[in-house]
Structure 1
Amino acid sequence: MDKQDHKLLNQTILALFPRAEKYSEFHLENSFVDIANLSTLLSIPVNQIIYGRRGTGKTHLFTYQSFKLKQKGAMTVNIDLRTVGSNGGIYGDKKTSLNERASALTRDVLIYTINEFLNYVLYTKKEEVVLEDFEEIYEQLHQAINQIEIVGTLQSNQNEKHIELNENQESKEKTTGNIIKGRPYNRISFPSINKLFNKLIEIMKIDSIFIFLDEWSEIPIELQPYLADLLRRTLFPIKKISLKIAAIQYRSNFIIQKDSHSYIGLELGSDIATSIDLDELVVFENNFDTSRDFFSRFIFNHITNQGYNNDILQKYRITTSKELIDIMFSDQDAFDEIIKASEGNPRDAIQILQESAMKANGFKISQEHIREGARQFFNKSKEYNVRAREDAYPFLQWIIRSVIKERGVRAFLLGASRRNELIDFLYSNRVLHIIKSGIIDLDNPDRRYRVYAIDYGCYIDLLRADKAPQGLLSYKNERNNVKYIKVLENQYGPLVLERAVLKLEEYRKSMNK
């Protein structure tokens, strides 16, 4: 391939979109790469939470799965929680009480859902459903969701059970007659909503409905347990409805535990399954072959379905992912470098690849192009975001000194039950990466650790100076010689743990000097 053709090939990379919502449904269907039977897991009619940080493919996964389920005759509802509702500003308005904000959010989610039911009937089941019957129940359900208590006094002979949330974060059932005073606010009547939903589904003649709630972590975190609780009471009891929630683990809060017997929200593992974590699936250290296979197919599928400069692919008869990788990269080390640099994150991989393709221009993409592209991407995005938080950047620099410079490695251990706000912040911004969970302390088997790896961008310049980390973890043997661990095991003794566990209290001491 000559210089001009390499330039055209690299331009196909520049035409890619980092975000799934920019693509057509056709592109998302044909570019999806299934891994670890994700598609099968999501097709099971149970309520599930899918964890994954930004860029791990949650939206792509939901869109693809929705398409496949519709092909099998199921109904799907896709809800982007960033955009739901006409008055989204109320959700973050701290001047408005929690019960009003939570009720408004739940109302918007439920109304969006039944509007999708209406669209489904009008455009898919029009010939099979008696519209008059549907419209009657639809209106009743709409009214049940939108019940309000009116300023002044309202007489009613009907008593009704409903759930209210108060300022003390309590959820309780009341039986009331409608003699009410105070300003209007939304009230959710769960028994009537459950009953009307079941009637509506019966009229629709549908066997299964999958509701995909994307961008859960964009909801104010103090509202999340309330929305979870209200969904548990309204939609979870309906047998034909399955909810799938996409969330960022450390930006999510599904439960407020009141005491040992009562709670607000969702009890993970009991009310809802949490079997899928996208962050750990394609980390290079966990499985070299799986990572290479995933990213080669990921790049190939996106480029061949983009339709930009596809003539160059036809000219060289590129029909497989291996053929594309061989002609695009200078060697296997260069391709492996893009996987390492992205730390298993597909969106980051696209953006680093685009920076690298610009550097390569009319040549094959080399390891040095990727390193320079990764440095540019890190400086313009991740480092910028970390610097925006005053206390985060010094903390990151301390981690880099303690782990990379002093120990010569790029990973460390933290107790699985230990939470630190700055660690969570760096993890959410993809500057730290969890590459393995559940490491066991051999001397204390009840203790578990997570392995955090430092982002490639943090030590990119050390690679050029031949000062790169020598492994993931290190330890000193009986002769006091440093040994490096490159492949992680499931358990370690004190020899490794003493050197591998990051002691956060040392950072606090250094800040007090």
Structure 2
Amino acid sequence: MSKNILIECFNSMVGTTAEIYDDSWIDYFVDPLDDKNKTVLHKIMLPNHSLVIGRRGTGKSCLLSRAYIECLSSLKDKVKKKNLMFTKGKRILPVYINLKEIWDPTAIFGDKAPYIRKIIFMSYFLSKVWISLNSEGIDKLLNWRNKLSNKTSKKIKSLIQKITNPEFVPTSTGVTIIKEIETDTKNRGFELNITSPSIKRSSILSTTKNKSTIVESTIISSISEIMNELVNLLKDYKIDMAYIFLDEFSEIPDEQQQFLEKNLLSTHFIPQDSIFKAKLAVYPGQYKFISLDESRELNAIKLDFVELYGDFGKGLSSSYKNASNKAIEFTKSLIEKRLNHYQLDIEFKDLFEKPDDALEYLLLTSMNIPRNIGHILQNCAEKRDIPFKMSDIKGASIEYIEKCQSRDFIRKISNIYGGRVEEHTASYIKLISKVRFQNEGKKRSEWVPQSHFWVGSLITEYMSVLEGAFLVLRIGLITPKKQELAKYGGISKKFDVYVLNRAICDRENFMFELDSEKIRGNRFDYSDIFFPYELVCENNHVITGDDIMEFKGVRYCGKCFTETDKRTKVIERKIEFSHLEDRSDIDQDVLKEVKKNVKQTMSLISKFEKIKELNVILSEPEKELIEILTYESKLRNKDIGLKLTEIMNYSKVRYLIERLNNRCISNNLPPVIISDKYGKKTLNPNFNKILET
């Protein structure tokens, strides 16, 4: 058996570079639900609007891609196609748009007025619609490129011409957008040849408000024309419906989400007689709709295993056990299908020294996320021979979670909360400190499990960053033993239970066990440590719920009153690392480690800000590209692509580098990234010198 092929097999679980119309998606896809009438593929193929919800790596894109292939199959000769159970005999046109690929180039114009950002976003969006309609898979079946070129392309080009002309956007911006759209479509074999018209300036467009109003009106009317044209085209080809797959919806800013909702979803998709059905992939809690009724108009498909398999009404232990068993079955099927696809001469039982233990451990450290499973097993395959021992899996899991809790975790906080990194990172420091001190100084017979805790429902929103970085997972609900002492419970008497990633517990030697009776004790109420601020008094006492006293509606420090018989007012203070130093309730080693990680990450963020000051605004993939080459130089495009969060093939990495370097050169700067004679990439020392001046 080839070790390289085994590594490639596990790497395919991290991400795939297969084209959307590639039949390999059928080989890759494992449906997490095995009931044929209730599979997630069955759900997304229903003729309604779907919201696929899951954290990064849960398989949202894979599900959309598999559904895309199913739609393609429906366009084939019905007599030859034997299995159309998911499309119910209807012909469905699939249109796939990766919104991240639209926002990444749009982000470099982030300093422009909001209406200009809408123009840029919509221009790239239309070009991606054109690319999807002309994709190889669709054109092979319908042979409709000439018709598209005659009618649809003219309307798309007309709208891009209207909104990118000098009346609305700076000439240089319009030229850049058009050039990139032309290059992208030309490279794919169906160029959109756009010429910006020269229009005489009008006094009515003198204000930004007027421009914004006219741009939005132009976009709305033109989109209606394009959609009507598509309806007529679908009728000509006897196509019953069109499914529009909008992947990475949460990767675009709120203003663009709401722009699409207002001008596309609500207007052209949601009406009952519409033949267009939207299928959106989103992160939990990272999507915002203004007018859409999510519960009534969108069918939610949740992919996180606790949400998918659990039944919170059955109690914590029963619900979580049932969900875990089904998740383990899914993981086994996932690995088996990859081994078969890569034709590896190995049985699943021979992959691990202790298969059952390995599957259970993978669940607890990967949280049943295929991408995480791929990272861990790829790490094992690179360093160890099969069968993998439990120590191999634990070591690989710890290495991966350290990456998540350092670079990824801190970068995520920075992206969401901007400069407020310390106050939000402090919640992780306080969490690990509190967990560690649970059993400190106690007899072994008095030890309690440290892996699980609960918080009030009012705290849940503060947990999203920790969950997104795979450090914790919400697994169910409980009712505390002493309800009256529980903090921040909101209206509900139930509280959210979380589990620490098993790899963190093993690294820190925490006792890992779910005891549904013990955990109901109020010592596991961690609600007060997750706020990004603390209550302190003027004498610098850190106040918890038990230390607050109230008098005539004013909060005072109970500690000060006990010690000095004086009333000292309590105030809210944003947390900084300096506030945590030398405190007995804070593990100073954890604080030191996190400070180091934050310093490294903030140094990179500072570099990005300096690059921005040079009029070169970076997209997220470009930032990640620079980050990778900061810590590891002399990498080939293929190796860089595999290290990106969203993996890319070598040609996409080459395009990413060329695009970044060209923007620098156009600003009279040296290229950021250079290549040696072997094609290996590194950061340009000359560019770094400019940043240091």
If the TM-score is normalised by the length of the shorter chain, which range does it land in? 0.7 to 0.9
What is the match of residue 259 of structure 2?
A: 226
Which amino acid in structure 2 is aligned with residue 246 of structure 1?
A
CA 1:338/1:131 → structure 2, altered by over 3 Å: closer, same or farther? closer
Give 5+ residue unaligned stretches, structure 2: 34-38, 76-91, 169-201, 311-319, 415-420, 439-447, 484-489, 536-541, 543-574, 581-693
Tell me how far apart the structure 2 counterparts of residues 348 and 137 of structure 1 sit (CA, whole Å).
41
**CA distance in 2 between partners of 1:402 and 1:81 (Å):** 40
Which residue number corresponds to residue 240 of structure 1?
275
1:34 to 31, 36, 54: 31
Aligned to 2:487: none
Q: Which residue in 1 is equivalent to 2:96?
A: 78
> What is the match of residue 12 of structure 1?
6
Using the TM superposition, give the Cα deviation of residue 472 of structure 1 relative to its aligned residue in structure 2, in angstroms. Answer: 5.9
Give the corresponding residue for 2:468. 428
State the AA in 2 paired with 1:136: K
* Contact 1:75 1:209 (8 Å CA) reproduced: yes
Q: Which one of 442, 450, 456 corresponds to residue 502 of structure 2? A: 456
Where does residue 294 of structure 1 map in the other structure? 330
Tell me, in whole angstroms, the C-alpha distance in 2 between the residues paired with 1:42 and 1:273. Answer: 8
**What secondary structure sits across from 1:470 in the alignment?**
coil
Aligned residues between the structures: 434
Contact 2:427 2:530 in 1 (8 A): no
Partner of 2:387: 364
Q: State TM-score, norm by structure 1.
A: 0.73
Secondary structure of 1:337's counterpart equals: helix
In 2, the alpha carbon distance for the partners of 1:384 and 1:376 equals 12
Partner of 1:469: 512
Which structure shows the bigger proportion of residues in strand conformation?
1
Of 431, 450, 470, the match for 1:399: 431
Do 1:20 and 1:28's aligned partners in 2 also have CA atoms closer than 8 Å?
A: no
Please identify, of 21-30 and 181-190, the stretch whose mean Cα deviation from structure 2 is larger. Answer: 181-190
Offset at residue 115 of structure 1 (A) = 4.5
CA offset at residue 294 of structure 1?
Answer: 0.7
Superposed counterparts of 1:26-105, under 5 Å? 26-36=23-33, 37-73=39-75, 74-84=92-102, 88-91=104-107, 93-105=109-121
Asked if residue 411 in structure 1 is aligned to residue 452 in structure 2, the reply is yes
Alpha-carbon distance change, 26 to 201 in structure 1, aligned in 2, over 3 angstroms? closer
Range with bigger deviation, 50-59 or 200-209: 200-209
Whether 1:270 aligns to 2:296 is: yes
Q: Is the 8 A contact 2:459 2:530 kept in 1?
A: no
**Selected match of 1:348 from 365, 372, 387:** 372
Taking a change above 3 Å as real, the CA distance of residues 68 and 137 of structure 1, as seen in their structure-2 partners, is: closer
Q: Which residue number in structure 2 is paired with residue 336 of structure 1?
A: 360
Counterpart residue identity of residue 104, structure 1: I
More helix per residue: 2
SS in 2 for 1:235: helix
Q: Give secondary structure in 1 for the equivalent of 2:527.
A: coil
Using the alignment, how far apart are the partners of 1:345 and 1:211 within structure 2? 25
Of 240, 255, 264, the match for 2:289? 255
* Structure number with higher relative contact order (C-alpha < 8 Å, ≥ 6 residues apart): 1
Q: Secondary structure at the match of 1:369?
A: helix
User: Does the 8 Å contact 1:225/1:253 carry over to 2?
Assistant: no
- Structure 2 length-normalised TM: 0.55
Contact 2:7 2:382 in 1 (8 A): no
Alignment of structure 1 residues 427-506 onto 2, 5 Å: 427-436=467-476, 446-447=492-493, 449-463=495-509, 467-471=510-514, 483-484=517-518, 496=521, 499-500=524-525, 502-504=527-529
Q: Distance in 2 between matches of 1:470 and 1:121?
A: 51
Tell me by how many angstroms 1:409 deviates. Answer: 3.0
| Large movers: runs of 4+ above 6 Å | 149-153, 440-445
Does the alignment pair 1:139 with 2:154?
yes
Give the letter for the 1:16 counterpart: F
Amino acid at match of 1:31: Y
- The residue type equivalent to 1:503 in the other structure is D
Give yes or no for contact 1:77–1:211 (8 Å, CA) kept in 2: yes
Q: 1:505 to 1:425 in 2, by over 3 A?
A: closer
Q: Aligned pair in 2 of structure 1 residues 77, 404: CA closer, same or farther (>3 Å)?
A: farther
TM superposition shift of 1:242: 1.2
Q: CA deviation at 1:217?
A: 2.0
Q: In structure 1, what is the equivalent of residue 339 of structure 2?
A: 303
Contact 1:149 1:180 in 2 (8 A): no
Mark the runs of 5 or more structure 1 residues left unpaired by the alignment. Answer: 154-177, 257-262, 319-323, 474-482, 486-494
8 Å contact from structure 1 (residues 138, 200) kept in 2: no
Counterpart-to-counterpart distance in 2, 1:72 and 1:335: 37
Partner of 2:247: 214
CA deviation after TM superposition for structure 1 residue 336, in Å? 1.9
Deviations 1:383-425 (A, max 9, x none): 333355642443212112324642633233334454545x322
SS class of match (1:287): helix
